[in-house]
Amino acid sequence: MTEPSGDVLLEISDLSLEFRTYRGPIKALNGVSLNVRAGEIVGIVGESGCGKSVTMMAATRLLPKGSAHITGGGIRLFGNDPMTLSERELQHVRGRLVSTIIQEP
């Protein structure tokens, strides 16, 4: 894993994602972009079902394997594409360097 360039720790650029189902693909994200810089605490708010949790779970590669497919854009987490990191590298990042707190209603 390489160190991030500059102070952007999480970069999500024009991310589109769909879930594959037996009835066909379901679009879950369409063009999501955001940057999180060192020292920032970010809260994402929105209506139920708008993609908040899916966005963060995609960024930390916590979506069920094989169910989600990124159809556009990309993610850089600490300068790396989380889809290419090993599980060991991801375990180092999750909880130590980045956390997601998902609030249930």
1 pLDDT higher than 60: no
| Structure confidence by residue, pLDDT tens digits, 92-104 | 888 788 888 877 6
Q: Show the tokens assigned to 40.
A: 């920032």
| Structure confidence by residue, pLDDT tens digits, 2-42 | 444 458 999 999 999 999 999 999 999 999 999 999 888 88
Predicted pLDDT at 100: 80
Q: Show the tokens assigned to 6.
A: 């500059």
Residue 100 lies in a domain: no
CB atoms within 10 A of CB 20: 12
Residue 29 lies in a domain: yes
Identify the domain containing residue 13 by its residue range: 8-93
CATH number at residue 22: 3.40.50.300
CB atoms within 10 A of CB 38: 9
Residue 16 lies in a domain: yes
Distance, in Å, from the CA atom of 28 to the CA atom of 53, rounded to the nearest integer, reads 11
Predicted pLDDT at 75: 96
Q: Show the tokens assigned to 59.
A: 């960024």
Residue 98 lies in a domain: no
